[in-house]
Chains A and B, each alone.
Chain A
Amino acid sequence: MSSGALDPTRYIQHHMLNLPLNVKSGASEFNGFWTLHLDTMFFSVLLGALFLITFRIVAKRATSGVPGKMQCLVETLVEFADNQVKETFHGHNPLIAPLALTIFVWVFLMNFMDLIPVDLLPWLAGMAGIHYLRVVPTTDMNLTFAMSISVFILVIYYSFKVKGVWGFSKEIISHPFGPWLFFFNVPLRFVDELAKPISLALRLFGNMFAGELIFILIAALLPWWIQWAPGVVWALFHILIISLQAFIFMMLTIVYLSMAHEGH
C-alpha cells in the first residue's frame, strides 16, 4: 500500500480501520458490539508477553550479586516504578507497584509500535492476505478504556475497602461543601470520579492517535523523496511523547489509587 496507489483520503481512512472479527459469526467483518479488534488484541498480547517473558526470565535469574546488562535494565525500570509509588503512595498495598510497572512498560511498548514505519507491518500483512491492520494498540480506544476502567474499578474497590461503605458514603455526601449541601456534593463527586477514567483513557488515546495520524499524513500527502525529513523530526519528537504518555498513565494511576487510600 504505497501512497501513490490510493488517493490520500482513502489511504488515511484505510489506515484508521482495525482488523475486525465478528465473534458471533467468526467472519472478518464489523458487527457492532460483537466485533473484536484482532490487531489490537494481537499486538497488545504480543507486546505484553514480550514484557512478561523478558522480565520473568530476568526475575528467575536475578542475582543479588553483580547484575548483567539485562538485569540492570529491568532493575532500573522496577526501581523507577517502585520509587514513583513510594513517593506518592504512603500506605501498604502490594498491588500498586507491580500495577504501575506493568502499565508503564506495557503502554510504552505499545506506544513504541508507533515508531515502526506506518506502512511496513500493514504491507507485510497485506502480502499475507490481511488487508486491515493497525499496529499501535494504544490508538484503539477499547484498549485505553479497558485499562482506565480497570484502574477505576480498583479505585472504587479500595475506596470502599479502606474507608468502609459508611466512611466512603459520608465522604461523598459531605465533601467538599458539608453534609447540608449533599445535593450539590454528590453529583460533583460523581463527575469528579467519572472524569478520572475518561480523561486517563482519552489522554493516551488522543496523543497516540494524533501521533499516528501525523505519520500517516506524512506518508499520504508528501512525495516519497521528502517524507524522511518530517518523518525523522516527528519520530524524534514522538519518542518523547510515547515515554511521557506511558509515564503519565502510570503516575495518574498511582495518584488515583493513593487518593482512594487517603481521605480528602
Chain B
Amino acid sequence: MGFNITLIGQMITFILFVAITMKYVWPHIIQALQERQDTIAEGLAAAERGNHELELAQHKSTSMLREAKIKAAEIIDQANKRAAQIIEQAKDDGRVEGERMLEMARSDIAQEQEAAREQLRQEVAGIAVAGAERILGQQIDQAANNSMIEQLITEVSSD
C-alpha cells in the first residue's frame, strides 16, 4: 500500500489513453453517427414529402374523377337532349312529309277526278250527239248544235 512511482506511471498512461481516444477514436465515431443521423433525417423528410405528395395526388385524382363524372353526366344529358331533339325533328319531318304526300295524293286524286270528269263529259257528249243523231236521223249542223250540246254537257256535269 501507499503511494509510489506507480502513480506517475498511471497518470502518464491515463493521459496517453485520453489523448488517443480524443484523436483516433472519438471523431470517427461521432462523424459516422452524425452522418447517419443526417441520412435518417433526410429519409424521414423524403418520406414526409412523399406522403404529402401522395395526399395531393389523391386529392387531385379524386377531384379529377368527380369532374369526369360531372362531365360524363353532362355529355349523357346532352346526348339525351340531342336524341330527343332528333326524334322530335324526325317526327316533325315525318308529319310534314306525310302532309305533303297527302296533299300530293289529294291533288292527284283531284286531277284524276277532273280528268275522269272531262273524259266522262266527252263521252257523254259523244253519246248524246250519237243519241241525238240517231234520234234525229239526220246530220245536224254541228256548229249550230255544239253550243246546245255544250250547255247540255254543262248541265250533266254539274249534276
Contact = CB atoms under 8 A, between A and B. Distances in A.
Interface of A: 16, 18, 23, 32-37, 40-41, 44-45, 48, 51-52, 55-56, 58-60, 62-65, 67, 71, 74-75, 78-79, 82, 94-95, 97-99, 101-102, 106, 140-143, 145-147, 149-150
Interface of B: 1-11, 13-15, 17-18, 20-22, 24-26, 28-36, 39
Q: Which 3 A-B pairs have the closest CB atoms?
A: A146-B10, A64-B35, A59-B28
A75 B32 contact: yes
Nearest to B40: A64
Nearest to B3: A142
B30 A34 contact: no
Contacts, number: 126
Contacts of A63: 32
A33 B5 contact: yes
Given A48-B13, A52-B21, A102-B18, A141 B30 contact: no
Contacts of A45: 13
Contact of A33 (B3, B18, B22, B35): B3
Given A59-B24, A78-B33, A106 B17 contact: yes
Given A34-B4, A40-B10, A75-B32, 9 more contacts: A33-B4, A51-B17, A52-B17, A52-B20, A58-B29, A67-B36, A102-B17, A106-B17, A150-B11
A74 B21 CA distance: 12
Contact of B21 (A82, A102, A143, A146): A102
A106 B14 CA distance: 9
A82 B11 CA distance: 23
